[in-house]
Amino acid sequence: MYPFLLVGLGGAIGAISRYGVSILVGRIWPHAFPLGTLLINIAGSAAMGLFIGILARTLPPWQQEARLFIAIGILGGFTTFSSFSLDTIALMERGEMLQAGLYVLLSVVVCLIGLYLGLLVTRGSPA
């Protein structure tokens, strides 16, 4: 139960932070281009790289709890793109280039198709 609590609390912090950043960027950049989302994805991915890199170098005894709370919780709630980026780089670092490419292709293309199909289903036929 404790791991779920760590992820849940971290996720709430990350989601609230994402919302706050998107509101702030929307006030500064009132254009149709989704700059807020782009900046959140970049910042979250960079933070994930820094955090995982530091965690791997220091190997603290609370490493598992920190990974659950910060990487999966806070950064995952802030942007799942950071998790996607970490998974892709991990595959590449293991030399699994085909799997990394397939993961990127399927994640982007199939997720876009899934979203589009969901919209089609909920929109129904035009009245």
Please check whether residue 76 is in contact with residue 83, taking contact to mean a CB–CB distance below 8 angstroms.
yes
Give the C-alpha separation, 96 to 36, whole Å: 32
Which residue has 């139960």 as its token pair?
1
Whether residue 79 is annotated as binding a ligand: the answer is: yes
CA 106 to chain centre: 16
Binding residues: 76, 79
Binding residues for Na(+): 76, 79
